[in-house]
Each structure stands twice: as structure tokens, then as C-alpha cells.
Amino acid sequence: MLEATQSYTPHPDRYNNMTYNRSGNSGLKLPAVSLGMWHNFGDINTFDDMKQLCFAAFDNGITHFDLANNYGPEPSSAEKNAGRILHEYFSHHRDELIISTKAGYEMWAGPYGDWGSRKYLLSSLDQSLQRLNLDYVDIFYHHRPDPETPLEETMGALAQAVTSGKALYVGLSNYDGERLDQANKILTELRVPFVINQNSYNIFNRTVENNGLKETSKRLGRGLITFSPLAQGLLSNRYLNGIPADSRVAHDGRFLNAQQVQAMHEKIVKLNALAEQRGQSLAEMALAWLLHDDAVTSVLIGASRPQQILDNIAALKNTKFSADELRAIDQISL
């Protein structure tokens, strides 16, 4: 095993070109672009590729790495790999990093895998900390609402995560506006530092606009971090000319399949033409579209190559849109 941090020296100018936004009305700042480890950090990936992605991210001001207990494949392997990277290369930079994780689902057999129970959340957090080689995480999320567990129990478990010193802040993931409002009232009464919501949001997926989540987050002063900002690659040049043989669609249709790509192809081409008029790639425009909204704290990108991280960060060069451009995006996508 390599000695901690000896073989990696971060770029000295890493903070010069990144934008940092406060998460709602809290004191926590997140980079406008965060690195999600949902894909490409499981045991099917090579360790050297993983560490190079982390180096490229941190060298360019991405201080937030986002995980969950069930990220892989196999479930838990992303946290194990991230924990090794953090221990071997980032131990001297822990206070410069925001590490977040979630209590997901399908982690173990039996009746105690309900993703909202106190037993499940706190057991999950303890296991995550072991895999990550950390004493605490900066943000601990409830991954998604559990209709079988009282909301008071779930929020009480998040409160205990903070009071135990195992999490600094808490977040909610995949909630809607009504459920968020209810959870926020409980967390406020318990004096829990609830700072952020994590939900899918992109030009094609406007669910948070329609279910009250975005409006409620802003009204309550809570941040919003968006996953799948490129709609699993639809909002990039990846599928402009069909489905590449080496694409995720060609090998893994769980989250995006060939029929979806074909159905959206005309819209992708039109959006790409608009992006070119702005002097951006489609991916840059898609990320910029999210970040032009002051309700959005950060966008969670995934990457399989360091260059993809650099390409996505380029979106920060222009996050301004005219009313005509916004109208055109809506007309095409909706």
C-alpha cells in the first residue's frame, strides 16, 4: 500500500477557476460542479482510473465527492474504493473536502433493510464510515422516502447521526415538496443542520419543478444538488450520431436504453444546434442551464475519463441565458 499523500500533490491553483455556492442559507459552500461516484467507482473499474478521476477533480477545484452505501457494482464497492483513495492520497486534505454518502437500499437480506428505519440508517452510516476510512462524513443523506417508517423516526436518526459526531450536516434525496416541508419542520424542531436536497434534474427531467421540490427548497432556504444533469449522457454529443459500440447504452440498459435514445434524438440534435450558437457543447449548455438558476447549488457529474471532468467544468465559463434561449430550450425539450 502506498504511503498517504506521498505520490499526489494537488495543483496549487486548484481554487482559482471554480465557483463555490452556499447551500441554501447555510454556511456550507459546495463547488458548482461536484463529482458523483454512482458509476465508474465499482470493482469492475480499475483503481488507477478511479484515482486519476479524483486527482483531476480536486486539481480543478472540485472539493465534493458524493457516494452512497449501495454504489458499485457490487454494492458498497464504490465506498471501499473511495476510502482507499482518500486514505492513500487525500489524508492531508481532509478539511478541504466535502464527503457525502447516503443510506441506500438492497444492502443486506432480512427484515432490517428498510431504508427509513433508525436501525437501518445508523447501521448504514457506521458501515459507510468503515469503508471510507473516515471518522465522519460532511453530509449524510436519507436516500429516498420510506412510506413504511414514520417520518419522525427517520428524521430522528439523522439527528442522532449529527449529535454523535458522525455527520456534520444532513440532506434528503428524492423527496417531493410536500414531504420535504414535513421533514423540514421536524428537523428544525430537532435543531438539525439540514442543508441540501439531492434530486434528478435536467433539461429533459423537470420533475422537481412539477412536484414542488424546487420551489419548496428555495422557500425554506435549503440547497439543491442535481444528479443526472446530462440525462445519462443524452444531453451530450455521445448520441448525436447513433449509439456508439462502447457506450453504456450498448452494454447496460438499466438507466438508459436504445429506444429512449432514438425517441429523443430529434430533440438532442436541436438542442445541440442551440448550444453551438452559444459557443458551447451540448453538455456545457445543459450544465450551464442548471447553474444559471440560483435555486441550484451544485451539479453532480459522473465521468469515466479525466477529460470529461475538464469538459464539464468548462460550463462555468458561460451560465447566462437570454429569455429567447430559455424559451427555445423549453420549446424543444418540453
Q: What is the 3-state secondary structure (H, E, C) of 72-101?
A: CCCCCHHHHHHHHHHHHHCHHHHHHCEEEE
**How many domains, in total, are found in the chain?**
1
Q: Residue 2 pLDDT more than 50?
A: no
Mean per-residue pLDDT, 4-18: 87
Report the CATH number that the domain containing residue 253 is assigned in CATH: 3.20.20.100
Percent of the chain with pLDDT over 70: 93
The verdict on residue 153 lying in a domain is yes
The verdict on residue 147 lying in a domain is yes
Q: What is 8-77 written as a DSSP string?
A: ----TTTTSS--EEE-TTSS-EEESEEEE-SSS-STTS-HHHHHHHHHHHHHTT--EEE--TT-TTTTTH
Q: Residue 282 pLDDT more than 90?
A: yes
Q: Residue 251 pLDDT more than 80?
A: no
Which pLDDT tens digit goes with each residue over 154-196?
A: 999 999 999 999 999 999 999 999 999 999 999 999 999 999 9
The verdict on residue 216 lying in a domain is yes
Q: Cell numbers 438499466 label which residue? A: 254
3-state DSSP assignment of residue 315: helix
Q: Report the alpha-carbon distance of residue 289 to residue 302 in Å, rounded.
A: 17
Q: Exposed/middle/buried for 251, CB within 10 Å: 0-12, 13-18, 19+?
A: exposed
Mean per-residue pLDDT, 117-132: 96
* Mean pLDDT, all residues of the chain: 93
pTM above 0.85, yes or no: yes
**In which band, very low, low, confident or very high, does the pLDDT at 110 lie, cut at 50, 70 and 90?**
confident
C-alpha 288: how far from its chain's center? 16
pLDDT for 108: 80
The verdict on residue 45 lying in a domain is yes
Angle at 139 between CA 30 and CA 95, to 5 degrees: 65
Q: Tally Cβ neighbours within 10 Å of residue 27.
A: 9
The verdict on residue 1 lying in a domain is no
For residue 107, give its domain range: 29-333
Report the chain's C-alpha Rg in angstroms.
Answer: 19
The verdict on residue 243 lying in a domain is yes
List Cα–Cα distances, 257 to 240, 260, 263, 266, in angstroms: 15, 5, 10, 16
Choice between 248 and 122, residue whose per-residue pLDDT is larger: 122
The verdict on residue 15 lying in a domain is no
